[in-house]
Amino acid sequence: MRLVAACLALVCLAAPAGAQQPAQVPHTQFQVKQSFAPLVQRVTPAVVNVYASRIEKQTRNPLMEDPFFRRFFGGPDSAPQERVQRSLGSGVIVDPAGFVVTNNHVIENMTDVRVSLADRREFGADIVLRDTRSDLAVLRIKGGSGFPTLELGDSDALEVGDLVLAVGNPFGVGQTVTSGIISAVARTHVGATDYQFFIQTDAAINPGNSGGALVSSTGQLIGVNTAIFSQSGGSHGIGFAIPSNMVRVVVASAKAGAKVVRRPWFGARMQPVSSDLVESVGLDRPVGALIASVVEKGPAAEAGLKPGDVVLAIDGQEVDDAEAFGFRFATKPTGGEATLTVLRGGRKTTAKVRLAPAPETRPRDSLMLRGRWPLAGLTVANLSPALAEEIGMDYPGDGVVVTDVAAGTPAQELGLRKGDMVLRVDDEAVATTRALDALAKPRNYYWKLSIRRQGEVVTTVVGG
C-alpha cells in the first residue's frame, strides 16, 4: 500500500503545472483520514441564513360588530390582530457587492428579509429578482461590501460519484456542513420547478437547507439545494439541487437590473420519445426530444424544424429527453444561434436556431373578473409568447389565459387555475380579456364554459 501511495505521489509531481488531475479514490488509511476542514473554512463564510417574514392582519369576526356578542365574547381583544408569518432558509453570496441567491419558495410572499452571515453579522436584504419557473430568487444585502463569495462552477462537468458538500441551516440549528457524492445528474420528474433537471446527492439535506450551497471538492458552487425525497420530513439520502448553470442565468439577469428572466424561446412543443415511437423515428433506444408541434413564425419554424423531428443534441451536448432539452435551451444566453443535431426520417442533420426571447405580440390588458358568475375571482390576460414563457406553458396561439385565482371565489370553487385558457362562454369565442369581461351578465339558468388545460379542452355546464 505504501508503494502504491508513493507511486501516486510521483505521478502528481510529474504532472505539468496547471493540468487538471483526474479524481482519485483513496488508496491508503492516511488518505481516508484526510479532512474537508480546509475546504469548509474556505466556503462557509459565503453561505448565509435567510430569515423572511410578513405581517398578516386578521380581520374582525363580523359577529363582533353586534354589541351583544362583543360584550360576552369580544372584550378588549376584539380589535383586528396582527400575525407574523415566517420562513427560514439558506442562501449563497455570489458577488462581493452582496448579491445572494436562494430559493424563491424561501421568500415567496414575504416582505421583510434578513440574512445572517457565518461570522454572526446580520443585515437586511432587498428582493432583487424572483424567478418562479426555476424556484430561484436573488437578494441584495443592504449596506457593507467586500462580502465573501462562492464562484459558480460548471454543473455540466459533474459526474456521478464526485464528492460534494452541502452547506445550510437545517431546522434552524445553525450553519451545518454535510458530505456525500453526486448520486445522479439530469434527474427529472422531481416536480419542484418548471425545469426538471436536477443534481441528486446523498449529502444530508433537511428543511432549512433550501437555498443553501452544494459545493464541489474544488470549492465551487455547483448547485442550490432545493428539495428532498422524504416520507418523514428528514433526510433519507435523496436530495436535489438546481444546477449552477441555471443559477448563473438568474444571477446575471438580477445583476443586469432585469425584473424578469428573459430566456430564449424555441417556439415548439416537445415530448419524450417513448419506447413505442423508437422504431418509427429511426432510433434504437428512447433518447432525444420529439417535436410535437411548431409555432408559426417562431424560431423553430424559421430554422426549418417540423413535427416529428427528434432533437438529439444542442451545441454538441446530448439531449436525453424533453426535460433535458428544455433545461439546456433555457440556459443558453439570448442573442446568436444554437446548433441543434436533429434526426429526421432516420437521417441526422443540423439546424441553426435563433436565440431570442419570446415576443410580446399584443398588450396583456390584465384584469380581474367580478360579478355574479362562475369566473368571478379570475385574473386574466391576453396571451402572447412572452406571457406563456413567464408562466411556464405552451403557446397554442392567441387567447385569454388565467394568471391568478383569488381564494374563496366562485372561480376557485370551480377548480380553475393559473395557465388555464378560457376559450368559449355559451359558445361565444373569447379573443380578449375585455370580450370575456363583457360576457359577465347575470342570468338565472346556466353557463356553458370551454376551458383549455395542458392541451386538453374541457366543456362544462355550471348552474347560474
CATH 2.30.42.10 intervals, the chain? 268-354, 367-463
Residue 25: its pLDDT value, please?
63
CATH 2.40.10.120 intervals, the chain? 37-74+83-261
Which CATH topology does 367-463 take?
Answer: Pdz3 Domain (2.30.42)
Residue 229: its pLDDT value, please?
67
Residue 21: its pLDDT value, please?
56
Residue 206: its pLDDT value, please?
84
Closest by CA to 268, choosing from 301, 313, 231, is 301
CATH architecture under which domain 37-74+83-261 falls: Beta Barrel (2.40)
AA letter at 400:
V
Residue 3: its pLDDT value, please?
34
Compute the Cα dihedral for 413, 394, 401, 390 and give only its sign: positive
Residue 235: its pLDDT value, please?
62
> In Å, how far from its chain's centre is CA 30?
42
Residue 196: its pLDDT value, please?
80
Count CA atoms within 13 Å of residue 71 on its CB side: 3
**Which residue carries 454538441 as its cell?**
316
Q: What pLDDT, in 10s, does the model give residues 162-173?
A: 999 999 988 888
Please identify which of the residues 87, 155, 183, 210 carries the catalytic annotation.
210
Q: What pLDDT, in 10s, does the model give residues 295-314?
A: 999 999 999 999 999 999 99
Residues 130, 107 contacting (CB under 8 angstroms): yes
Using CA atoms, how far apart are residues 446 and 242, in angstroms rounded to an integer?
A: 47
Residue 124: its pLDDT value, please?
95
Low-confidence ranges of the chain (pLDDT < 70): 1-33, 56-82, 84, 191-192, 229-236, 442-444, 464
Domain 268-354 -> CATH class:
mainly beta
Residue 392: its pLDDT value, please?
86
Residue 354: its pLDDT value, please?
96
Residue 32: its pLDDT value, please?
55
Residue 455: its pLDDT value, please?
83
Q: What is the maximal distance between C-alpha atoms in the chain?
A: 92
Burial of residue 364 (number of CB atoms within 10 Å: 0-12, 13-18, 19+): middle
Please identify which of the residues 90, 131, 134, 135 carries the catalytic annotation.
135
Please identify which of the residues 105, 134, 253, 420 carries the catalytic annotation.
105
Tell me the C-alpha to C-alpha distance, in Å, between residue 368 and each of 327, 360, 376, 390, 437: 33, 21, 8, 19, 9
Residue 69: its pLDDT value, please?
47
Residue 63: its pLDDT value, please?
47
Q: Is 135 a catalytic residue?
A: yes
Percent of the chain whose pLDDT exceeds 70? 84
